[in-house]
Amino acid sequence: MTDMLYDNPGLKFKNQDCIGESVWQSPSNIALVKYWGKKGFQIPSNPSISFSLSKSFTETRLSFQPAKGKDFNVKFSFNNNPQPDFEKKIISYFKSLTKIFPFIEQLDFDIQSKNTFPHSAGIASSASGMSALALTLCDIEQHCFNKQTRLDDFFQKASFIARLGSGSASRSVYGGWVAWGAIEGMESTSDLYGVPIKNYIHSDFLNYQDSILLVETGTKTVSSRIGHDLMNSNPFAKVRFSQAGQNAKRLVEVLKSGDIDEFIRITESEALSLHAMMMTSQPSFILIKPQTINIIDKIKAYRKETGVPVSFTLDAGPNVHLLYPKSVKDLVKEFINTDLMPHLSENGFIDDEIGAGPRKLI
């Protein structure tokens, strides 16, 4: 269950002096090479690559005190509203972590969380939420047990813990470009945790922009858990996993060389392949909407006409992430306002970009 890597049987509070809090902000991320399908417990069927966002993040305050009852307890509120259903999910997540963090069983938790972005906006709240939670737990371990962990090891463990809650969250504990899942020829990558892509990144890709075009902000009809599971019986799964592996390898090269045409080819193909997998699952499901397709058509036509290197990606929903280098921001703003606005919901779009990663507040 925990892959054994961080099992830590001795780590318990020795007295009742276990009161404190930890507050972290952690970003959402947008995957360019998509994780869709897993094997075993939270092991991806193919590697994925994302960048962390700057403005779209979760802030989580985790307060803890000695457990009053026999079992630990969790109170969870989102935007100051208690969330009993989500409390149950966190309790089972925490239970799955007691081999790694035995001190969990000694505590009661009060967790307060809020997001800087609206619900169901096509921004992965599980990535920011679970990574923020994982960081607070690793923080308790670090500070209450005086562990002198190196920063790199701290974040690697946080990524490992975040992955057990939500796969894409493993990539959110770092800023910039992040890979999760073993990529052929890249020794540092792993199925167990995300790694920042640290080798030279071309200047065009250092400050990449993501304008999230909101087509519809209703709730998703199919959870990503069900979507991943359906890949087990998808007839195209094997080809898809191999395609994603090759795309991940190629994208790392492209980030270095600055080949923006190849970047566009890979990322748009990834977005459409993700949705093709949904459409070819049994039962099938379609998350894109007519306006999603209208926007994609407009993006392609605008690029062809003007040569401005805009491209799109999609997450598991109808909203379109418009991607472009910062150097063309003014032109793209005009394009959004004149050509794309008529296709968007009343919520318009969220202007985001590559961010620097999580921040500890307390």
Residues near ligand PMV (CB under 6 A) are 31, 34-36, 48, 124, 126, 166-168, 224, 228, 274, 315-316
Between residues 36 and 208, which has the closer beta carbon with respect to ligand PMV?
A: 36
Residue 313 near residue 267, CB atoms below 8 Å: yes
Between residues 277 and 336, which has the closer beta carbon with respect to ligand PMV?
A: 277
Can you say whether the dihedral through the CA atoms of 295, 171, 179, 359 is positive or negative? positive
Residues 6+ apart with CB under 8 A from 26: 57, 58, 60, 128, 129, 131, 132, 135, 172, 173, 357, 358
Between residues 35 and 174, which has the closer beta carbon with respect to ligand PMV?
A: 35
314 sits in which H/E element = strand 311-314
Provide the minimum distance between the beta carbon of 285 and ligand PMV in the complex, in angstroms, as a whole number.
13
Provide the minimum distance between the beta carbon of 9 and ligand PMV in the complex, in angstroms, as a whole number.
29
Between residues 244 and 332, which has the closer beta carbon with respect to ligand PMV?
A: 244
Between residues 116 and 128, which has the closer beta carbon with respect to ligand PMV?
A: 128
Residue 67 near residue 263, CB atoms below 8 Å: no
Provide the minimum distance between the beta carbon of 343 and ligand PMV in the complex, in angstroms, as a whole number.
22
Can you say whether the dihedral through the CA atoms of 246, 266, 171, 154 is positive or negative? positive
Give the Cα separation of 148 and 362 in Å (integer): 18
Provide the minimum distance between the beta carbon of 355 and ligand PMV in the complex, in angstroms, as a whole number.
16
DSSP per residue, 241-277: HHHHHHHHHHHHHHHHHT-HHHHHHHHHHHHHHHHHH
Between residues 130 and 264, which has the closer beta carbon with respect to ligand PMV?
A: 130
Between residues 36 and 155, which has the closer beta carbon with respect to ligand PMV?
A: 36
Residues 6+ apart with CB under 8 A from 253: 259
Give the Cα separation of 148 and 154 in Å (integer): 9
Between residues 38 and 298, which has the closer beta carbon with respect to ligand PMV?
A: 38
Provide the minimum distance between the beta carbon of 35 and ligand PMV in the complex, in angstroms, as a whole number.
3
Distances (CA, A) of 317 to 101, 177, 274, 289, 303: 35, 22, 11, 9, 23
Provide the minimum distance between the beta carbon of 362 and ligand PMV in the complex, in angstroms, as a whole number.
27
Give the Cα separation of 128 and 113 in Å (integer): 11
Provide the minimum distance between the beta carbon of 279 and ligand PMV in the complex, in angstroms, as a whole number.
14
Provide the minimum distance between the beta carbon of 119 and ligand PMV in the complex, in angstroms, as a whole number.
15
Q: Look at residue 287 and give its three-state secondary structure.
A: coil
Q: Look at residue 123 and give its three-state secondary structure.
A: coil
Provide the minimum distance between the beta carbon of 317 and ligand PMV in the complex, in angstroms, as a whole number.
9
Give the Cα separation of 94 and 91 in Å (integer): 5
Between residues 181 and 325, which has the closer beta carbon with respect to ligand PMV?
A: 181
Q: What does the block give as tokens for 189?
A: 């990558």
Provide the minimum distance between the beta carbon of 4 and ligand PMV in the complex, in angstroms, as a whole number.
22
Between residues 107 and 179, which has the closer beta carbon with respect to ligand PMV?
A: 179
Residue 303 CB neighbours (<10 A)? 17
